[in-house]
Amino acid sequence: MHVHHNKESSMMMSKTLKRSLLFLNITLLILGEAGGPLLMRLYYLHGGKRIWLSSWLETSGWPAMLVPILISYLYRRRRRRRRGGGKGDGDDGHVKFFFMKSGLFAACSFLGLLTGLVDYFYAYGISRLPVSTSALIYSTQIAFTSLFSFILVKQKLTAYSINSVVLLIIGAVVLGVHAGGDRRANETNNQYYLGFFMMVAASLLYGFVLPLIELTYKRAKQTITYSLVMEMQMVMSIFATAFCTVGMILNNDFKVIPREAREFEFKEGIYFTILAFNAIVWQCFFLGAVGVIFYGSSLLAGIIIASLLPVTELLAVVLYHEKFKVEKGISLALCLWGFTSYFYGEHKQSKKKTVELRDEPSSGMI
């Protein structure tokens, strides 16, 4: 009885820890998704022009990942000492700092390069579009995430989730019909539309990357722990940063940064502060995304990203005095309708499963 009780309590602890980590990652994802686009747009609004630099900032905060990885390592080492050593984390009985094996490293490297490409498309879109418009377009990633989740990880699509996807796509189309109406005065139609399509490309590609991350978890030939999830995010960020570094070198961004800092509307210190906060906030976004995929699914991560649209919309209108025209209102309404449809469908499915599980023992007794 005593052994059973200990086992039960450890399972409860495990569930509590999982929920806490899921909540933590959702919080990081919200912080990154709400703050990242606004900080990036702030850079462009006050004199910043380097698209490759903006792309680079999205993942260059990866050294910050060493802090939670170190904390996790110290925690595991202390726990092992309390238990009196023994084998488990490492073959030689020692606690490993990094867990990742070569196969997983190769997969994360590839995912990192794809993320670097997403970063460039996204940064280009933000440079040409108001935050409110780019947020609406980027919300269509849920359509692509749903499609690729269905193909790659066999995610079940209900009538509600399909309805949600269709409404989100219509919302983006409505926005695209009058897309040139909120462009900047010095911007041509061609530049604006290129920004529009670059944002759609970012949406499509990231909608592919999210299920690929989930597939990598499923196919990994080693146990996936949260420590390993952090390592995976760091490797993806390193390779995405390397991809964007090449772009920066070819575009002479490193040479131009000091001059751009001097010509920035605010002081040089504020310029570099904006860049630093960009890197930190975007790192929160990417860690939050991979964490939510680990504890939930790629579709859940996509839904959370898309559902933050109203927050980003309102912040952009309040902070940057962006215009909120009729087509944006219609698009926003369609998006909110789509999100509501998805969550209502999930609620119904969850309720149905609960009823089935409750009814199972009684039918067995009969």
Structure tokens at 184: 């900047």
pLDDT computed for residue 113 by the predictor: 96
Q: Determine, yes or no, domain membership for 275.
A: yes
Rounded Cα distance, 3 and 24, in Å = 31
pLDDT computed for residue 128 by the predictor: 84
Q: Determine, yes or no, domain membership for 79.
A: no
pLDDT computed for residue 354 by the predictor: 64
How confident is residue 237, by pLDDT bands cut at 50, 70 and 90? very high
Residues whose CB is less than 8 angstroms from the CB of residue 263 and which lie 6 or more positions away in sequence, other chains included: 47
Does the structure show a pLDDT above 80 at 257? yes
Mean pLDDT value across residues 296-315: 75
Mean pLDDT value across residues 91-116: 84
Rounded Cα distance, 240 and 245, in Å = 9
Q: In angstroms, how far is the first alpha carbon of the chain from the final one? A: 28
Q: Determine, yes or no, domain membership for 20.
A: no
Residues whose CB is less than 8 angstroms from the CB of residue 230 and which lie 6 or more positions away in sequence, other chains included: 65, 68, 69, 72, 287
CA distances to 42, 61, 63, 65, 101 from 280, rounded to whole Å, are 15, 6, 10, 10, 27
- Least confident piece of the model among 41-50, 217-226, 267-276, 333-342: 333-342
Mean pLDDT value across residues 153-157: 75
Are the C-beta atoms of 168 and 140 separated by less than 8 Å?
yes
Compare 3 and 110 and report the one with higher pLDDT: 110
Residues whose CB is less than 8 angstroms from the CB of residue 340 and which lie 6 or more positions away in sequence, other chains included: none
How confident is residue 19, by pLDDT bands cut at 50, 70 and 90? confident
Helix 226-250 with 66-83: angle, nearest 10 deg: 160
Does the structure show a pLDDT above 70 at 338? yes
pLDDT computed for residue 241 by the predictor: 96
Domain count within the chain: 1
Cα-Cα-Cα-Cα dihedral sign, residues 120, 124, 125, 130:
positive
Are the C-beta atoms of 210 and 293 separated by less than 8 Å?
yes
Q: Determine, yes or no, domain membership for 8.
A: no
DSSP state of 296: S
How confident is residue 166, by pLDDT bands cut at 50, 70 and 90? confident
How confident is residue 322, by pLDDT bands cut at 50, 70 and 90? low
245 Cα distance to chain centroid: 21
Mean pLDDT value across residues 261-266: 87
Q: Determine, yes or no, domain membership for 233.
A: yes
Q: Determine, yes or no, domain membership for 82.
A: no
Structure tokens at 362: 């009684």
Does the structure show a pLDDT above 80 at 25? yes
Does the structure show a pLDDT above 90 at 57? yes
pLDDT computed for residue 185 by the predictor: 58
How confident is residue 182, by pLDDT bands cut at 50, 70 and 90? low
Q: Determine, yes or no, domain membership for 359.
A: no
Q: Determine, yes or no, domain membership for 76.
A: no
Burial of 115 (0-12, 13-18, 19+ CB in 10 A): buried
Phi, psi angle pair for 187, to nearest 5°: -110, 135
How confident is residue 12, by pLDDT bands cut at 50, 70 and 90? very low
Other beta carbons within 10 angstroms of residue 317's beta carbon come to: 16
Q: Could you please report the per-residue DSSP string of 260-292?
A: HHHHSSS-HHHHHHHHHHHHHHHHHHHHHHHHH
Which residue range(s) make up the domain with 286? 33-69+100-350
High-pLDDT (> 70) share of the chain, %:
82
Mean pLDDT, rounded, of the chain: 79
Rounded Cα distance, 199 and 123, in Å = 8
